[in-house]
Structures are given as C-alpha cells and as structure tokens.
Amino acid sequence: MTFRSELTWEGMKASGLEADYHSSYEKAADDLLAMVRGGPMIYPNHIDGAPSLAQRTFEDVSPSDRDLVVGRFQRSSAEEVSCAIRSSRNTFLEWSRMDWGDRVRIFERAAELMRRDKFALAAAITLDNGKTRHEAVADVDEAIDFIDYYSEEMRRTDGFERTPGAAYPEEEVSLRLRPYGTWAVICPFNFPLAISAGMAAGALITGNTVVMKPSSDAPLPVHLFYEIMDRAGLPPGVLNVVAGSGGEAGDALVNSDAVDGIAFTGSLEVGRRLMRSSAESGRRIIAEMGSKNPVIVSGEADLEAATDGVAASAFLFSGQKCSACSRLYVHELVYGTFMAMLIERASRMTVGDPFDRETDIGPLITEQAMDNYLRWTEMAHRDGKLSLGGEPARTSGPRGLFAHPAIVESLPEEHYLMRRELFVPILCVQSYRTLQDAVVRANASEYGLTAGIFSSNETEVRYFLETIESGVVYANRRRGASTGAMVGSQSFAGWKSSGSTGMGTGSHHYLPQFMREQSRTVIRQ
C-alpha cells in the first residue's frame, strides 16, 4: 500500500460533499449526546482482554458543558496497575514472536474500522476535550495516518530486518531490531486519539506490549481506541488500559520495575522527572514535552497570509497545542499595520459550543486552565499592553469554559509570560529591527519544538531555516504558522527540552525507537 493522508474535510469539500460531511458529524454528535444525557455510562479498565472495575471511579465532565457528565471512569489503584503490567508482560513473548506481517494486518484492520467510525470518534473527541468538528475529525484522521504510515514502514523495512555483508565466508549475518518488552503509554488530553494511538501503535506494531493511561481530562477516546483494537483482532492482554490520576495510576505505572519503556506526551516538569528516573534505571523513554513556539513576521511578508497563519496557530483549540504559536516577533516597519490586521482577525473568531458548525474556538479544558487564563491576562494588563481579550466569552449556549483570544504587547523579553508554556489562548508580541536579532530572541528558550517565518525574501527564509533551533519549522504557511504537522510529511521532533530523543513522530525514525538492535551470526554445521 502507498501511504496517503486522510484529509477528510479537504477531500469531501473537493468532491462537493460538504453537506454529507456536516450531516455525518451532526448525526453522530446527536446520537452521542442523546446517550450521554440519558445518564452517565460506566467505562471499565481493560486488563488481560476483559473489562475490570476498580473500587473507585471519577466523573469526566465535558469542558463545553460543565453540567454534562461524559462518563464514569475507573480510579485505578497501584494494585490494579500492577495487574495490567503483569498481563502485558505475560503476553509479550507470544506477541513479539508473531510474524510482523500478521501484526501489521491487525493494525490495517484497525485503521479501516476507524474510517468507518470516523464521525462517531470525532463527536466523542468534541464532547470530551472541546475540539470543534474540523479539529476533531482531523484528530481521527491523524490517528489513522499514524497507523497507516507505521504499517507501511514495517513493510518497507521488511520488519526492520536486513542482511549485511559477512566478513568471513562461512558466516551468515543478519541485523534485526527487536522489541524491548512492556511499554507504558501516558496520553495527553489535547490529542486524545491521534497522539495516544500513535504512541501505542508505535510500540505495539514493533512487537512490544502496552499499558495505556489516558488523560483524566479526556479518557473516552482511549477507551474507544481499545475497543477498535479489540475488534481488529489484537490478542487479549497485549494492550491494557488503566484510567486514573497521574499521581496514583500514572506514578504506579511509570515507576514499576516491570516496565521496559515509557512513551509520554505532556509537561516539561513531568517529562524531566521521567527522564531522570529512566537515566537511573536504564529504561527507554520517548518524551515530547511542549514548547514556547516563536513565529517571525518579516518586513517583506505577505501580511494577509501571516495574519491567517498566526491566528490559526495561536488561537485554534484555545491555544492548547504544544505546537501553538505563543511568541510573535514582527518587524518594526510593518508592526502597526500587521497588529491591526491580527487584532481584527482574532476578534472575529467565534468562541462557543464546539458542536456548532460556525464555532472557531471551543472551551478550555479545565477550571484550572480558565483560572490561569484570567490570572495571566491580568498580569499582561499590568506589565504590558493587553490589546485583546482577557475575559471569559459569554455565550448563549451551554455552561462551558470559554475564553476570548488574548494578545499582549510590549512585555519584557524575560517576562514570565514570554518564557512559560501557557496552554491557553494568549499570544505575546514584540517588534524587532533585524532578522538576526529576532532569531536570537526566538532561540533564547529552553524549548525547541516548532517555529515559523513569513517572508518573501528567500535570503531571509534561508537564514531562518539554518539558524532557528526547533525540530519543526515552517516558512509562509498560511494554514498554520507553527501548527499542523502531517504524518509522513512533516516529522514532529522536539529539540532541547521539547523532546528526549531529537527524533520525530510520523517519520521513518520513530519506530526504531521502540526497538533495540541485535546482530546475529550463524555458522552452518
């Protein structure tokens, strides 16, 4: 098979099927909301191929409607996590020895099931983390893309086996990448299907077994992913799912001596703790830990393209992306013009119920995120110039955590808001005189995930690409100045404190990170 990105919205729009796209999503959303409003469902853990109930549960509440309980999930204890780890370890030998082609075929069936259930999965994402329909469908598309791409990589590399030349004629030499064992997969709330499925698929398709812990803020998509893998024929016990808090279930999982590797997407603080622990234990860790992503708008930029690209990257999904544009450097010659355009564009973005067709920006994920937004915009008003936003968005719809895009100017370079990853829709803007100065300021961060520039000057673009310290860089990208990496096209690799390996997801470098090399030499008797 040849890998092709899903691109559901773009494909259906090009085929004149916009109405079918919207009706399919809206029917799925109506069905889901009717079920949820009938009373919260209880979602079990999944251990050794069977549903498992813990002694305690927690309620998962929709961020777009705080009166709506998505479901009750298990508050797993350390003992329950240990059972899941044991199940994964017990199934490792058989799963790892399965022909890699048979593993791939299971994942290809899973991808097809995701296609069939695409709009139902998207509606579940909207309900659980507040993504608008386009972003939710794109989340499902990305999950499918990860599975398809990693399946193709297994075929392209013949299961990561090759035969080099032998130094001695009597020797038969082969090189193989072999799985480590059992992996803990710690999932984020912001891409609860795409990133979660991508990490799990990377571990599983290469022959490892997995225990997944979904984010407590958006656990439903991981539960649905498990059901899809089960329907696709994944053997019992190969994938286990335990819900619960990071401080209890998460710590029990990542601190277990029976876990051979950890795949993590989340905060720098937690990522560093996991890396320190792994350095002491010798365990493999693949961590993506966010960023403080800069974008530069040159004096020779297409300002309309830059306006669209910056607004999309900074404010869609309320800035809750590790790739979101958070720092903006604008050349002093176009600063006034561009800022007027950006403020006008951001002020027109519709904030509200993510199920509504016309909504651009849905809710913040938690009450804490809203508190942070209000506290930090007050700080911005005190220490700089708050040009837009700073207050909750009032809507006529449900009781959700809605906030307007915020733009703050004239903060000092060392200000807290210029340095810290915020994960709310706040964009910090400064002017610059020379590109060299802008790049130096952009690089003056412990992070290095994504970055962008807008310029029609090829010399400026070349200089930016050669000097910026980020793993994912874009020039003149109107659809997203710093966001929107596509599987199989743009690898998603964090530099500096944004990643633990310097290698990206959605690229040919990803799967080998879940394996270790074995050289085999055989002399026939």
d(CA 164, CA 172): 9
Identify whether the C-beta of residue 104 lies closer than 8 Å to the C-beta of residue 155: yes
Q: In the annotation, is 288 catalytic?
A: yes
Burial-class residue 368 by CB neighbours within 10 Å (0-12, 13-18, 19+).
Answer: exposed
d(CA 106, CA 79): 30
In sequence order, the 6+-apart residues with CB closer than 8 A to the CB of 157 are: none
116 forms beta bridges with none
Catalytic residue among 322, 325, 428, 460: 322
Q: Could you tell me whether strands 325-331 and 426-432 are parallel, antiparallel, or unpaired per DSSP bridges?
A: parallel
In sequence order, the 6+-apart residues with CB closer than 8 A to the CB of 224 are: 121, 124, 193
Q: What angle do CA 151, 140, 49 make, to 5 degrees?
A: 65
| 201, two tokens | 């698929």
Catalytic residue among 80, 135, 153, 288: 288
Helix, strand, coil: what percent of the chain each, to 5? 40, 20, 35
Q: In the annotation, is 322 catalytic?
A: yes
d(CA 131, CA 433): 37
Neighbour tally for 372: CB within 10 Å = 17
Q: Could you tell me whether strands 261-265 and 284-288 are parallel, antiparallel, or unpaired per DSSP bridges?
A: parallel
Using DSSP's 3-state secondary structure scheme, residue 361 falls into strand
Strand locations in 309-446, DSSP E?
Answer: 325-331, 385-388, 406-409, 426-432
The catalytic residue positions are 288, 322
